[in-house]
Amino acid sequence: MNRLPKKFPEYSIMYKTLSNQIKSLEKRMDGVGEKELKEINAKIENYQSELNKIMNMFPNKFFEELN
């Protein structure tokens, strides 16, 4: 296995938290107005961007193996 980042536990917790937040926001999207929908999509994009940064710090498919 490749080397893990120095702050491995913090990043793995952050990954799980952001993943759960995205899932929560996706569930909330049903039946909302257009303005709120745009806000939710913007939050999801920001969270997904952070997830991608975290995923790039770890070996390939690291988080897929944990799920």
Residue with tokens 């702050």: 7
Alpha helices in the chain (DSSP H): 8-28, 34-57, 62-66
Mind listing the pLDDT tens digit for each residue in 7-52?
A: 778 888 999 999 999 999 999 988 888 999 999 999 999 999 999 9
Confidence (pLDDT) at 57: 82
Cα(17)–Cα(48) distance, rounded to whole angstroms?
A: 12
Would the pTM count as exceeding 0.95? no
The pLDDT value given to residue 9: 83
Q: Can you give the pLDDT at residue 43? A: 96
| Dihedral sign, Cα of residue 44, residue 49, residue 52, residue 57 | negative
- What is the identity of the amino acid at 7? K
